[in-house]
Structure 1
Amino acid sequence: MKNATLRQLKTFETVARRLSFARAADELNLSPPAVSTQIKHLEEHAGVPLFEQFGKRIFLTPAGHEMLQFSRAIIDRFREAEETLAQMRGVAGGSLNIGVVSAGGYFAPGLLAEFLRRNEGVKLELAVENRETLLKQLDDNRIDLAMMVGTPADCGIVSTTFAHHPFVIVASPTHPLVGQKRIPMSALSGERFIIRERGSDTWDAMEQGAIDRFVRRDESIEISNTETIKQAVMAGMGISFLSAYTIGLERRAGMLAVLDVVDFPLVRQWRIAHRAEKRLAPVAEAFRLFLIDEGATQIAQLTNLDSL
C-alpha cells in the first residue's frame, strides 16, 4: 500500500459512500472512467478486490470495509493538518468549505462573492444539498459550516440566526384563488400540492407550520428540485409551498402568483451551523461572523424581495 495516493483514497471513500461510480464521478467532478482507473490502481496496491458487483449494483467486499475505515482515518488526518495550517495562515489563503440548502442557492453566491471580495486568496468549496444531507456532511466533517433553516435537532450542532426566511403559497396566475383576500388554510385542502421531499428544509418548514395537514398525500406530487416545482406550478399542475426567495423573478414577471393565505408568509429563521466540537479555522469563523453581522442586510439587497 506504500504507493497508494491520497487522491485514490478520496476517490475510494466517495465510491464506497455513494455505492455508485457515476454518482461518485459527479461529486468529484471526474469522468466515470477516471474514477474506475483510480479504484483499479488502489486495488492493485491492496492486492485484493475492494468492490464486488451484483447486476448493476456494487458492494464493498470485506477488504473494502476494512479499507474504508483506514481511508477515512487518513483523510481526516490530512484534513486536520490542513485546518492547523489554515489556523497559522489566518483568513487570507484559508479554505472555506460550506454547505447550503437549495433555497439559499438563490442568494448564497452573492454573499460568498462579497466575502471573497473582502478576503482575497480564500479558496472556496460550496455544496448545495437538502437539510438532511448537509447535517450528514457536518457529521462526517466534510463541510465546516452549513446554512439552513430552523434549529437542528442534533444537540451536537451549534447554530446561530442571521436572517429571516419567509415561506409562501404559490400558484399559477390563472388559478381561481389568485386575487382572493384572506384565504383560510382550510380552502387549500382540496388543492393538489407539489411538494419538496422529506429531509428538505422546505418540507420541514411546511410540517412545523402544520401546512402538511392540508396536503393530501395520495394527490400530492413530490419533486426534489425547486426549479422543476416552479415549472409544474406555472403549468397549472397544482400549488406549492416555497421559499419566497426562490420565486422573485417569476413573481415579478407575472409567471407565478402568491396566494393571500391567512397567517402567511410563514417566517422561519436562517441559521449558520457547525459541529459543537469543530475547531473553526479563521476563515470559517470570519464568514460565520460576516453572516451574523451583515447577512440579513446583504440578503435583502441581493434578493430585492417585494413586500408580500
Structure 2
Amino acid sequence: MNYTLHQLQVFLMISKTKSVTKAAEELHLSQPAVSIQLKNLQDQFAIPLTEVVGRKLFITDFGKEIAIAAERILSEVYAINHKTAAFKGQLVGQLKISVVSTGKYVIPYFLNDFMSQHDGIELKLDVTNKVKVVESLEQNDVDFSLVSVLPDHLQIEKVELMPNKLFLVGNSLQTFPKKLYDTSVLETLPLIYREQGSGTRHVMEKFVQANMLPIHKKMELTSNEAVKQAVLAGLGYSVMPLIGLKNELSMGDVQIIPVKGFPIQSIWHLIWMKGKNFSPVAKAFLEFIHQEKDRIIQEKFDWCNKY
C-alpha cells in the first residue's frame, strides 16, 4: 500500500460531500486533480470505494470504513503537527466562527491582528443567515458566533462588541427634502426585505409591528449584497445595517432617509455556549477580544459615528 495523506484527505472530503466537485471546492483544488487522487487511491484496493448510480456518487460500505480510518489517521497527524508546534512555543489549532451575513463587514477587523500574530492558527469562518449560525453554535460545530440578535432559546455567554445601526436607505435619484419623516413614509415606499431567518429582517419586522405599519413588500432577497444592489438599481428601499454601506454612502450612491425612530439599533455580540470547553486557540482569541476590541472599534469603525 502506497497511499498518501493527501489521497486520504481528498477521499475523506469526497465521502463527506458525496461529490467530487464539492470536494474540489472545499479543498481549493481543481476537479480533475481530485478525480486523479481518488483514482490513485482506488487503484490500491480491489474493492470499490465509490459507485455512481444515476449520475450520483455514493460511498460503498467498504469506502465508508476507509473514510473512518482516514479521518482517524489525519486526526493523529494533525495532533502531531500541533504538538510539534506547541513544543516550539507556537499557538496552533483551528478557530471556528459562524457569522451572520452582515457580520462579514465586522468580523475580519477583529480577526486580522490576531491571525497575524499566530501563523499556526487555521481559521474556519462560515458566513450564513441567523438560523444556520445559531444551529452551528447549538451543535457545537463552532467556537463562537457573531450575531446582532441574541438567540432566546440557548444558554449562552457573550461579549458585546459594537452597535449595529440600521437605517432606511434608497438610491440617490429621488429627493427627500424633509429633515425628518414620520414612520408613515414606510407605508408609501416599496420595501425590499431580507429572507426569513435573517437578523436584519427580524429587527425590521419588530419595528414595523411596533408601529403598526401596513407595509408594501416589494421583494425578498437572500443576502445583504443582493438587497444593496436592488436598492442601487432603484427597485425599492430597505432597512439596512450602516456597517455595509460605507463605500456607497461616501460615493453618494445611496442616501439615508431620515425617519422618526431611526436608526434602529441592535448590538453585535460574540457569543458561545455556556460551559463551552475552549481550546487554547479559542481561549486566546477571547482574551484578545477583551483586550483589543476598544482599539479596533476606534480605529476601524469610528466613521459610523458620523451617522
How much does 1:10 deviate? Answer: 4.2
**Equivalent in the alignment of 1:39:** 38
Q: Which amino acid aligns with 2:114?
A: F
Instruction: Report the Cα offset of residue 80 of structure 1.
Output: 6.8
Aligned equivalent of 1:240: 238
> Does the Cα contact within 8 Å between 2:104 and 2:127 map onto a contact in 1?
no
Unaligned runs of 5+ in 2: none
The answer for the alignment partner of 2:48 in structure 1 is: 48
In structure 1, C-alpha distance between the alignment counterparts of 2:88 and 2:233, rounded to whole Å = 52
- The corresponding residue for 1:264 is 262
The code of the aligned residue for 1:191 comes to L
What is the deviation of 1:215? 5.7
Q: How does 1:293-308 map to 2 (within 5 A)?
A: 293-303=291-301, 304-308=303-307
2:109 is aligned to: 110
Structure-1 residue corresponding to 2:190 = 192
1:236, distance to aligned residue in structure 2 (A): 0.5
Checking the alignment, whether the CA contact within 8 Å between 1:178 and 1:259 is kept in structure 2 is no
Deviations 1:165-212 (A, max 9, x none): 22222111223557551331x432453333333344433443455579
Determine helix, strand or coil for the equivalent of 2:262: coil
1:274 aligns with 2:278: no
Q: Secondary structure at the match of 2:306?
A: coil
Q: Is the 8 A contact 1:164 1:296 kept in 2?
A: no
How far is 1:124 from its partner? 4.1
Matched letter for residue 172 of structure 2 = P
Task: Measure, in 2, the Cα distance between the counterparts of 1:72 and 1:204.
Answer: 39
* Superposition deviation, residue 154 in structure 1: 5.7
Aligned CA-pair RMSD? 3.8
Distance of aligned partners of 1:106 and 1:220 in 2 relative to their CA distance in 1, 3 Å threshold: same
| 1:254 maps onto 2:275 in alignment | no
Distance of 1:140 and 1:71 partners within structure 2: 23
Give, in whole Å, the separation in 2 of the partners of 1:104 and 1:59. Answer: 36
* Residue identity matched to 1:260: P
Q: Deviations over 1:8-28 (max 9, x none)?
A: 454344444444433332232
Deviation at 1:156, TM superposition (A): 6.2
d(CA) in 2 for partners of 1:222, 1:8: 40
The residue that corresponds to 1:286 in the other structure is 284
Paired with 1:74 and 1:238, the residues of 2 have a C-alpha distance of 54
Whole-Å Cα distance in 2 between the matches of residues 124 and 133 of structure 1? 22
Please state whether the residue corresponding to 1:269 is helix, strand or coil. strand
Percent of paired sites with the same residue? 25
Q: How does 1:1-308 map to 2 (within 5 A)?
A: 6-44=5-43, 47-55=47-55, 57-61=56-60, 92-99=90-97, 100-116=99-115, 119-130=117-128, 131-138=130-137, 143-153=142-152, 155=154, 158-175=157-174, 177=176, 179=178, 181-184=180-183, 186-210=184-208, 219-224=218-223, 226-276=224-274, 278-303=276-301, 304-308=303-307
Superposed displacement of residue 251, structure 1: 0.9
Q: For the residues of structure 2 that align with 1:80 and 1:148, how far apart are their CA atoms? A: 31
Contact persistence 2:121–2:281 (CA under 8 A): no
The one of the two structures with greater contact order (alpha-carbon pairs below 8 A, sep at least 6) is: 1
Contact 1:52-1:61 within 8 A present in 2 as well: no
Give 5+ residue unaligned stretches, structure 1.
none
- Assess if the C-alpha contact under 8 Å between 1:167 and 1:264 holds in 2: yes
> 1:11 & 1:157 partners in 2: Cα distance?
36
